[in-house]
């Protein structure tokens, strides 16, 4: 029987700093990540049954290992009569996604409940009262954006600390702003990217969880990483002291590597970063 995945690769379920992430990511093959607590599906390189229920999807770029599941997703949501799903795609790729889905609708002679939303760096979307999505810049061979999920808290303004609750309620009722907004960057995902991303988007170093591709590990894959605008392990080693993240989930490893080979290669990452690295492996 032919196997879908290289040995030791395939479906992954893990928790990074309290954030569950489930999916598959193999470079050039298939990537998708379910983020149930962030109410979002990242990518749909394939659309297995358990991703069809997500009504918010963030796609980083048009490479089909990240996007091929789109038509399948749209068609099956229609079949299940699910409400409109919002699919964020890079602004420059939005028209092509529209044309693709339009062709599929014509092939099937039905209309999908899909809203394609062009994403531009800096855009902010409220996903829930306490959860915001920010579009980040991307750096890859085709138009790409990244995504940042932030928890939004409203804290009592410092100068009101110690004041009686009824007094605060009265001030609020009179229109005074009694709280200040606090953004907690929970998880960032820059999509497929070259090492240029670290200068283009330095906030990656400061999120609680960073979901970062590391397609290539081997020494003789350095040129390949550069040619295809992907991260090589060396790019991470060169910046090892800059990652302030609680957890760095490394993902999107090439299908050339087996799971053991990947774990072995990551052992060279020095402390204190080494212990905060979590490979996206089963």
Smallest distance from Zn ion to CB 45, Å: 7
- Under the rule (CB under 5 A), what is the footprint of Zn ion? 63, 65, 192
Smallest distance from Zn ion to CB 244, Å: 26
Q: Please, what is the end-to-end C-alpha distance for the chain in angstroms?
A: 21
What contacts 89, CB < 8 A, 6 or more positions away?
59, 62, 97, 116, 117, 118, 119
- CA dist., res. 209 & res. 249, Å (int): 7
Range 99-112 burial, b when 16+ CB lie within 10 A, else e: ebbeebbeeeeeeb
Q: Decide whether 63 or 276 has the Cβ nearer to Zn ion.
A: 63
Q: Decide whether 43 or 132 has the Cβ nearer to Zn ion.
A: 43
Q: Decide whether 38 or 67 has the Cβ nearer to Zn ion.
A: 67
- H or E stretch including 67? helix 64-67
Smallest distance from Zn ion to CB 61, Å: 6
Smallest distance from Zn ion to CB 138, Å: 10
Residue 119: both structure tokens together: 């994403």
Smallest distance from Zn ion to CB 89, Å: 13
CB count in 10 Å sphere of residue 14: 16
CA nearest neighbour of 87 among 113, 114, 63: 114
Q: Decide whether 185 or 191 has the Cβ nearer to Zn ion.
A: 191
Q: Decide whether 21 or 178 has the Cβ nearer to Zn ion.
A: 21
């Amino acid at each position: 029987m032919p196997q879908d995945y290289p040995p030791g690769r395939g479906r992954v379920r893990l928790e990074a700093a309290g954030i569950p992430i489930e999916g598959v990511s193999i470079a050039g093959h298939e990537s998708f990540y379910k983020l149930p607590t962030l109410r979002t599906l990242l990518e749909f390189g394939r659309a297995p049954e358990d991703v069809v229920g997500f009504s918010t999807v963030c796609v980083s770029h048009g490479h089909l290992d990240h996007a091929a599941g789109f038509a399948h997703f749209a068609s099956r949501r229609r079949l299940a009569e699910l409400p409109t799903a919002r699919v964020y795609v890079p602004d420059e790729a939005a028209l092509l996604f529209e044309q693709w889905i339009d062709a599929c609708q014509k092939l099937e002679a039905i209309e999908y409940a899909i809203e394609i939303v062009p994403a531009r760096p800096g855009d902010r979307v409220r996903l829930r009262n306490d959860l915001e999505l920010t579009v980040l810049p991307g750096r890859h061979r085709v138009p790409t954006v990244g995504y940042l999920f932030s928890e939004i808290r409203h804290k009592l303004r410092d100068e009101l600390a110690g004041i009686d609750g009824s007094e605060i309620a009265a001030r609020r009722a009179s229109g005074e702003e009694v709280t200040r907004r606090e953004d907690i960057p929970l998880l960032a995902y820059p999509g497929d990217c070259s090492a240029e991303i670290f200068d283009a988007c330095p906030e990656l170093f400061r999120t609680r969880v960073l979901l970062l591709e590391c397609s290539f590990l081997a020494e003789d894959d350095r040129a390949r990483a550069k040619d295809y605008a992907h991260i090589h392990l060396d790019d991470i080693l060169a910046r090892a002291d800059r990652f302030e993240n609680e957890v760095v989930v490394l993902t999107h490893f090439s299908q050339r590597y087996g799971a053991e080979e990947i774990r072995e290669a990551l052992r060279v990452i020095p402390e204190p970063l080494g212990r905060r690295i979590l490979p996206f492996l089963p």
